[in-house]
């Protein structure tokens, strides 16, 4: 998972909440069927706007008017009485509108240089303050958590408006809607794209207090998830057997990844998978006893929910977790609501996540996913998996891992190897990362450059990548590293996160304009991370010469899409329900999330995986600590497959370095540059059908 902090709102890929604020749309915005009152105090009327435009025409002529007619109304919508009178607004526009082409480019260069300094330093401060929360070490104190929730950029918008820098940007670099970017972008030069991205920056006025409240809430939710571990050695089955060694697994990632490892272990492995599934169910419905979370003092039977103390005595009615999971979920919603009211064009977190952050609409994502989930290929692949495991499928088989090469390799052997190779973070940084890049075809010079811009840390949570926002700083790679070295799970995550870091480094240092750094949305960086992760065994020297390896790879991507698309829909529908029921209680939210999870399960999964009404799709931790992020994963898998087709038979390093420096175009423009076609599930569906035939 790629994590970036907010400049000036939240996450680099989750861009500042942009609006085209015309006078007619100041008071009510609509998205995804939700209406939301927005806050605006503009004191500029249409007569002042027209008078200002008339004077600009007189001063600069007709050639300047297409840009002025777009930008002046936008600035008017942002201007308040505190910024000046209508006459002062008019004077400001006449003074700061730049009609000269060379001077406009000089202005853009100044803005980009200063933004890199500001955003880069904000990011570095955030990384430093969150170290106790993100990196393994002493348990964070309450003061650590306070600092971790501090947002150094919370006042960025306020300061930019107070200094009137925001108005200069909006006046000279007008905002273009997603539809306009998609329609016009193919004809834009790189400079025009940079101007359009500058136009995305200052089009809403979210108060610092709302930004800081959101930052505090998300930091608290992230800390809750990062410290939510199940002590596997203390789990007991119905017969009182301890099935696992002593190890702490984080929800949901660690539990899911442990479950995946037991597909080649017969009845013993199946018993372990079933007990993990039961643990997940207890977490979802919050019937899990509070005392067994992150605590090795008690033994716990997740079937009966009985808890035993160190002497083997049963606890009498142990207290369950008090819906903490859903307290954080609801807290995220309420914090987002405070930002909503200052976004008239995108007045909900849903609208910002899809229409703005992903630059793909909610409806388009829903249609893309549901068409995939109802494709005939799902039944064919499910039947093939059932044949391979030799039994009817169960709900946890959404995580079937048998198409990967490692499914035939004992994970203990893999962990022994990775611990030997990477006993600490320095070993992975100095040997692992260069080896990965070398095998992908990067030159020694590029290997040294990329690796010198990535810092490896032992993660307190499951692991993540954190970008740099200035070229003088490093990207961060975090994964779990035990005292005895990096086990295979930690290595697998590290390879994934290193894929993010390679993207982050290339798209910061090699892009032609700083404002174009990055990729269209997080799905595109996930795609490259998946490309890396899918080769993790090859990087260790395991080379699959199986004639069916291509078919297996296709089926693995297909099943991964099938799994995560349903999870993403549960996340999307839960937020949609919250906006329809903004006064919901924590208990109501919990029941509705489980209801939605069951409905999605029954429609798309139960016919193939059995057990009607399973709530398992609601287990994903992203729903708590990364609101509305999950759709990026299946979208990323779709992009990954198209990228893999493009990479086949080519030097991977050369292709990565050709594709990614194009920077942050819109998704469809980026894909046409990368692979020559739009984002589509059809290539994967067609390939899956052929793969099933080949496997049979």
Question: To the nearest whole number, what is the mean pLDDT of the chain?
Answer: 91
Q: Are 48 and 366 in contact (CB under 8 A)?
A: no
Torsion of CA 473, 478, 482, 483, to 10 degrees: 10
* Residue-level pLDDT at 6: 37
Give CA–CA dist 498/478, Å, rounded.
9
Which positions ≥6 away from 543 have C-beta within 8 Å?
none
Average pLDDT over residues 225-250: 95
State the distance between the two ends of the chain, measured CA to CA, in whole angstroms. Answer: 35
The closest of 555, 558, 575, 581 to 618, measured between CA atoms, is 575
Q: pLDDT at residue 141 above 70?
A: yes
pLDDT digits (tens, 9 = 90+) for 625-659: 999 999 998 998 899 899 999 999 999 999 999 99
Give CA–CA dist 519/504, Å, rounded.
9
Q: pLDDT at residue 21 above 60?
A: no
Q: Which of the two residues, 337 and 41, has the higher pLDDT score?
A: 337
Buried b (16+ CB within 10 A) or exposed e, 119-145: bbbbbbbbbebbbbbbbbeeebeeebb
Q: Which of the two residues, 191 and 154, has the higher pLDDT score?
A: 191
For 346: left if phi > 0, alpha if psi spans -120 to 50, otherwise beta; the answer is beta
Q: Are 214 and 335 in contact (CB under 8 A)?
A: yes
φ, ψ for residue 442 (rounded to 5)? -75, 150
Q: pLDDT at residue 31 above 50?
A: no
Where do the DSSP E strands lie in 584-659? none
pLDDT digits (tens, 9 = 90+) for 436-475: 999 999 999 999 999 999 999 999 887 899 999 999 999 9
Give CA–CA dist 390/160, Å, rounded.
63
Hunting for tokens 């992203």 — which residue is that? Answer: 622
Q: pLDDT at residue 86 above 80?
A: yes
Q: Are 469 and 116 in contact (CB under 8 A)?
A: yes
Q: What is the CA radius of gyration of the chain?
A: 26
The H or E element that residue 231 is part of is strand 229-231
Q: Are 560 and 421 in contact (CB under 8 A)?
A: no
Average pLDDT over residues 343-364: 90
Half-sphere exposure of 538 (CA within 13 A, CB side): 15
Q: pLDDT at residue 567 above 80?
A: yes
pLDDT digits (tens, 9 = 90+) for 301-349: 999 999 999 888 999 999 999 999 999 999 999 999 999 988 877 889 9
61-64-66 Cα angle (round to 5): 125
Q: pLDDT at residue 420 above 60?
A: yes
Give CA–CA dist 295/39, Å, rounded.
46
Q: Which two tokens stand for residue 668?
A: 């469809």
Buried b (16+ CB within 10 A) or exposed e, 525-556: bbbbbbbbbbbbbebbeeebeeeeebbbbbbb
Q: pLDDT at residue 533 above 70?
A: yes
Q: pLDDT at residue 541 above 80?
A: yes
The percent of residues in the chain predicted with pLDDT above 90, rounded, is 83
Which positions ≥6 away from 279 have C-beta within 8 Å?
230, 235, 255, 288, 302
The domain limits of the chain are 38-203, 228-322, 410-508
Q: Are 245 and 232 in contact (CB under 8 A)?
A: yes
Would you say how long the chain is, in residues? Answer: 696
Average pLDDT over residues 257-280: 95
* Residue-level pLDDT at 205: 86
Q: pLDDT at residue 395 above 60?
A: yes
* Residue-level pLDDT at 663: 97
182, exposed or middle or buried, with CB in 10 Å at 0-12, 13-18, 19+? middle
Which positions ≥6 away from 681 have C-beta within 8 Å?
368, 371, 372, 561, 638
The H or E element that residue 598 is part of is helix 586-604
For 229: left if phi > 0, alpha if psi spans -120 to 50, otherwise beta; the answer is beta
pLDDT grade for 15, boundaries at 50, 70 and 90: very low
- pTM (2 d.p.): 0.81
Q: Which of the two residues, 138 and 545, has the higher pLDDT score?
A: 138
* Residue-level pLDDT at 539: 96
Q: Are 575 and 333 in contact (CB under 8 A)?
A: yes
Q: pLDDT at residue 133 above 70?
A: yes
pLDDT grade for 1, boundaries at 50, 70 and 90: low
Where do the DSSP E strands lie in 22-134? 28-31, 34-37
Q: Are 679 and 635 in contact (CB under 8 A)?
A: yes
DSSP string, 365-392: HHHHHHHHHTSHHHHHHHHHHHHHHTS-
Per the DSSP assignment, residues forming a β-bridge with 56 are none
């Amino acid at each position: 998972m790629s994590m970036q902090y907010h400049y000036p709102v939240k996450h680099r890929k989750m861009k500042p909440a942009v609006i085209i604020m015309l006078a007619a749309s100041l008071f009510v915005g609509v998205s995804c069927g939700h209406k939301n009152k927005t806050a605006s105090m503009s004191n500029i009327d249409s007569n002042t706007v027209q008078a200002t435009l008339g004077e600009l025409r007189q001063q600069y002529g007709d050639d300047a008017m297409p840009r002025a007619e777009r930008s002046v109304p936008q600035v008017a919508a942002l201007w308040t009485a505190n910024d000046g009178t209508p006459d002062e607004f008019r004077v400001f526009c006449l003074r700061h509108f730049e009609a000269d082409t060379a001077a406009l480019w000089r202005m853009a260069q100044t803005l980009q240089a200063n933004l890199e300094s500001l955003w880069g330093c904000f990011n570095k401060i955030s990384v430093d303050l969150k170290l106790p929360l993100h990196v393994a070490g002493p348990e964070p104190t309450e003061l650590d958590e306070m600092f971790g929730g501090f947002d150094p950029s919370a006042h960025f918008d306020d300061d930019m408006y107070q200094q009137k820098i925001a108005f200069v940007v909006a006046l000279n670099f007008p905002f273009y809607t997603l539809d306009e970017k998609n329609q016009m972008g193919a004809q834009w030069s790189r400079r025009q794209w940079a101007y359009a991205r500058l136009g995305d920056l200052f089009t809403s006025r979210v108060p610092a207090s709302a930004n800081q409240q959101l930052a505090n809430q998300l930091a608290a939710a992230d800390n809750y998830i990062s410290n939510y571990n199940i002590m596997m050695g203390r789990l007991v089955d119905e017969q009182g057997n301890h099935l696992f060694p002593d190890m702490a697994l984080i929800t949901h990632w660690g539990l899911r990844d442990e479950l995946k490892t037991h597909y080649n272990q017969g009845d013993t492995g199946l018993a372990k998978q079933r007990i993990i599934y039961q643990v997940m169910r207890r977490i979802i419905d919050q019937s899990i006893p509070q005392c067994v979370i992150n605590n090795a003092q008690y033994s716990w039977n997740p079937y009966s929910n009985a808890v035993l103390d160190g002497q083997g005595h049963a606890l009498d009615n142990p207290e369950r977790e008090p819906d903490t999971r859903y307290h954080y979920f609801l807290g995220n919603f309420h914090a987002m609501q405070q930002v909503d009211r200052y976004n008239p064009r995108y007045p909900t977190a849903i609208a910002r996540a899809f229409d703005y952050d992903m630059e793909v609409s909610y409806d388009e994502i829903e249609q893309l996913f549901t068409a995939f989930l109802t494709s005939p290929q799902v039944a064919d692949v499910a039947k093939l998996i059932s044949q391979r495991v030799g039994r009817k499928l169960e709900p946890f088989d959404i995580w079937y891992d048998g198409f990967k090469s490692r499914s035939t390799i004992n994970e203990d052997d893999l962990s022994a190897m990775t611990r030997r190779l990477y006993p600490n973070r320095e070993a992975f940084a100095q040997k692992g990362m260069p080896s990965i890049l070398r095998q992908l075809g990067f030159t020694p010079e590029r290997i040294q450059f990329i690796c010198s811009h990535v810092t490896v840390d032992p993660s307190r949570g499951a692991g993540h990548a954190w970008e740099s926002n200035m070229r003088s700083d490093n990207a961060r790679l975090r994964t779990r590293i035990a005292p005895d070295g990096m086990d295979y799970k930690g290595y697998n995550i590290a390879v994934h996160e290193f894929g993010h870091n390679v993207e982050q480094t290339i798209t910061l240092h090699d892009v032609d304009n700083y404002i174009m750094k990055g990729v269209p949305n997080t799905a595109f960086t996930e795609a490259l991370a998946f490309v890396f992760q899918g080769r993790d065994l090859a990087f260790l020297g395991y080379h699959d010469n199986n004639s069916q390896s291509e078919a297996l790879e296709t089926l693995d991507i297909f099943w991964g899409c099938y799994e995560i698309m349903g999870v993403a829909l549960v996340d999307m529908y839960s937020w949609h329900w919250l906006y329809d029921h903004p006064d919901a209680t924590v208990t109501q939210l919990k029941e509705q999330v489980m209801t939605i999870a069951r409905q999605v399960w029954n429609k798309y999964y139960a016919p193939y995986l059995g057990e009607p009404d399973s709530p398992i799709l609601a287990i994903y931790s992203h729903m708590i600590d990364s609101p509305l992020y999950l759709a990026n994963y299946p979208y990323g898998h779709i992009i990954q497959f198209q990228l893999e087709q493009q990479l086949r038979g080519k030097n991977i390093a050369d292709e990565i370095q050709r594709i990614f420096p194009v920077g942050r175009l819109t998704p469809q423009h980026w894909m046409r540059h990368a692979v020559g076609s739009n984002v589509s599930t059809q290539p994967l569906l067609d390939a899956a059908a052929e793969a099933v035939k080949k496997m049979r």
